Amino acid sequence: MNTQATLRDAENAPAHPHIAALDGLRFIAAGTVLFSHGFFYLLLNQDDTRITAYNAPFVGMANIGMTLFFVLSGFVIHYNYAASVPLPGGVRDFFVARFARLYPLFLLVFLICIVDSLRYADGKVDVIGPIPFFLTFTQSWWFWVFGERATSEAYSDATGLMWSLSTEAFFYAIYPLLAPRLRRCNGTFVVLIGCVVASMGAWLAFELNEYRGSLDGWAALYTGNVAAAGNFSHWLIYNSPWIRIFEFLLGALTAQFVMTTHMEPMQARIAGGAALVVILAAYGYCLVDLLPLSACITTCVAGAFAILIGASAAKGHVFSSALSNRWMVMGGEASYSLYLLHYWVMHDLGHRLADNRPVLIRAAVFVVLMLVSVGIARVSYLIYERPMIRVVRRLFSAPPRAWRHDETSCVSPVVEVQPVVVPAKEWAIDSNAALGRSNPNGAPP
C-alpha cells in the first residue's frame, strides 16, 4: 500500500458531518441521571423504604441514561475515529483526544473530593489506597477491595459518579484493535453481527442477575471479605466493563451501519418508534413490578437503544428534528459537566435547602436545583471544560513532521499529513443501580 497516497486520500476525504441529534441524546442521558438522583435525594430523602411501584420508575431512570451513554459512546467513537485510527499517528491522536476530553474536569473534581475526604478521615475507611486506581481510570476494571468497599465505591461523594469513566477508558484501550475489524462490516452483515452481540449481552446480563447470591458467595471466598463481597454481583453486572462492552460494541456497529447504509426518513421513524416502545415497555414492566431484573433491564434491551440512536442519526424525521433543537444541543455539549457536578448541587445543596421541609417545598427545590445544575454545567463547559480540552490537546499532540525526501523513489519532498481527528462529543454518565442498590449515591454506584 502506498502510505503517502493513503494519507493524501485521508486529507482530501470529507469528515463525517456532525450529527446534532446525538447532542440531544447526550442531554437526555445526562438528564435522566440528574432527575433520578435528585428525586431520590430530595423527594425520597435517600430512604429505600419509600420506594414503591409508583415511584420506582423515577428512581431508576438513571439506568436508561447509563445504557444510552455507553451505546452512544460506541457510536460516536467509531463514527469519528474509524477512519483515522488505522493511519500513522492515528492511535496517538485518538488517545490524546480522549484524554483531553475526560481528564481535566475529572481531575479537578477528584482533587476537591480527595481533599475533602482527607479532612474528615476517621481511619475507618482507606482514603489513600484507591487513589492510583482513580487517577489511572482503572477502578472498575476489576473487583479491587479496600477495607469493606470495592475501589469504585471507595468514597461516598461525587467520586461515586466516576466508575463509568473507568469503564469507558477500558473501551478506549481496546478500540484501536476493534476499529479495523469493524470497518470491514457493512449492510446485512453489520445487522447480523449486531443481533448476535445484542443477544449475547442480554443473555449474559439476565443469567448473571439470576445468580447474584452465588456470585456474591464466590466473591466472599475470593476476597475473604464478606461485607465487600456483597457488592460483587452489582459491580460485575452494572459497573464493570465486562458486561457493558456489549453496549459499546452495539453503538460502534450502529455507526458502521449508518456510515455504509442509507436509511430513508420513514424507515428511521418507524424503527426509532418501535425501539422506543420496546425500551419503555421493558423498563416500565420491570420497575413497576419491582423485579430484581430492574437494575440490568436496560442492558438486556441495549439493541433497542442502538436502533433508536441509529434512527436518530438519520435526518428528516421527528426524532432527529426534536433532538437537534438548539437548546438540546447546548445541553448535550455541557452534559459531561452536568454529570460530574450535579452531585454537589442536588445532594449537598439540596439537602441543606430541602431537609425537614414540606413535600411541596421539597418538590420546588428539586425542580429549581435541576435548572441550576444545568446552568452551572453550561458555565463549566464554556469557561473550563472546553478551554482545557484545547490546552491539553495542544500540549500532547505531536507536531507536524518535517519535510523529507522519499528515499525509495527520490521524488520531490512531501509533507506527511497528520490525520485530522474530529473531536468526539460524548461523556460519561453515572447511574444508580436503582432498585438493585440500597442507595444510588450515598453508597456510590
Q: Which residue has the cell 473501551?
A: 171
Name residues whose C-beta falls within 8 Å of residue 160's C-beta, 6 or more positions apart in sequence.
152, 153, 343, 430, 441, 443, 444, 445
Q: Tell me what the mean pLDDT of segment 185-189 comes to.
A: 89
Q: Quick one: pLDDT at residue 399?
A: 57
Going by C-alpha positions, the residue among 436, 421, 372 that lies closest to residue 76 is: 421
Q: Quick one: pLDDT at residue 222?
A: 85
Q: Quick one: pLDDT at residue 147?
A: 82
Cα separation, 315 vs 318, in Å, equals 9
Q: Tell me what the mean pLDDT of segment 212-216 comes to.
A: 93
Q: Quick one: pLDDT at residue 119?
A: 85
E strands in 314-364: none
Whole-number Cα distances in Å, 44 to 8, 50, 56, 244 = 59, 6, 11, 29
Model confidence band, residue 138 (pLDDT cutoffs 50, 70, 90): very high
Output the nine-digit C-alpha cell for 351: 439537602
Let me know: does 149 contact 125? Beta carbons within 8 Å: yes
Let me know: does 338 contact 30? Beta carbons within 8 Å: yes
Name residues whose C-beta falls within 8 Å of residue 188's C-beta, 6 or more positions apart in sequence.
none
Cα separation, 384 vs 388, in Å, equals 6
When mean pLDDT is compared across 149-163, 288-302, 359-373, the lowest value belongs to: 149-163
Q: Tell me what the mean pLDDT of segment 73-91 comes to.
A: 95
Pairing of strands 149-150, 145-146: antiparallel
Q: Quick one: pLDDT at residue 148?
A: 81
Cα separation, 160 vs 167, in Å, equals 13
Whole-number Cα distances in Å, 192 to 195, 275, 437 = 5, 17, 35
Going by C-alpha positions, the residue among 127, 128, 129, 140 that lies closest to residue 428 is: 140
Q: Which residues of 337-369 are buried (b: 16+ CB within 10 A; e: fewer)?
A: bbbbbbbbbbbeebeeebeeeeeeebeebbeeb
Cα separation, 78 vs 85, in Å, equals 10
Q: Quick one: pLDDT at residue 59?
A: 95
Cite the DSSP H helix spans in 123-264: 131-135, 163-183, 187-210, 212-223, 226-229, 232-234, 241-260
Let me know: does 179 contact 82? Beta carbons within 8 Å: yes
CA 139 to chain centre: 15
Model confidence band, residue 124 (pLDDT cutoffs 50, 70, 90): confident
Pairing of strands 411-414, 404-406: antiparallel
When mean pLDDT is compared across 22-36, 104-118, 324-338, 411-425, the lowest value belongs to: 411-425
Output the nine-digit C-alpha cell for 172: 478506549
Is the model's pLDDT at 340 over the cut of 90?
Answer: yes
E strands in 87-174: 145-146, 149-150
CB atoms within 10 A of CB 328: 20
Cα separation, 65 vs 83, in Å, equals 28
Q: Which amino acid is at 11?
A: E
Is the model's pLDDT at 379 over the cut of 70?
Answer: yes
Cα separation, 121 vs 156, in Å, equals 12
Q: Quick one: pLDDT at residue 375?
A: 97
Cα separation, 198 vs 246, in Å, equals 7
Q: Tell me what the mean pLDDT of segment 93-111 comes to.
A: 96
How many residues belong to the chain?
445
Output the nine-digit C-alpha cell for 53: 411501584
CA 75 to chain centre: 11
Q: Tell me what the mean pLDDT of segment 17-33 comes to.
A: 94
Question: For the chain, what are the domain ranges?
Answer: 16-398+418-436
Q: What count of Cα atoms within 13 Å lies in the side-chain half-sphere of residue 48? A: 13
CB atoms within 10 A of CB 414: 13
Q: Quick one: pLDDT at residue 440?
A: 39
- Compute the mean pLDDT over every residue in the chain, rounded to the nearest whole number: 86
Cα separation, 282 vs 285, in Å, equals 5
- How many percent of the chain have pLDDT more than 70? 86
Output the nine-digit C-alpha cell for 234: 452489582
Going by C-alpha positions, the residue among 136, 75, 163, 202 that lies closest to residue 437 is: 163
Q: Tell me what the mean pLDDT of segment 59-69 comes to.
A: 96
Model confidence band, residue 398 (pLDDT cutoffs 50, 70, 90): low
Taken in order 16, 20, 25, 27, the sign of the CA dihedral is positive
Let me know: does 99 contact 421? Beta carbons within 8 Å: no
Cα separation, 2 vs 9, in Å, equals 11
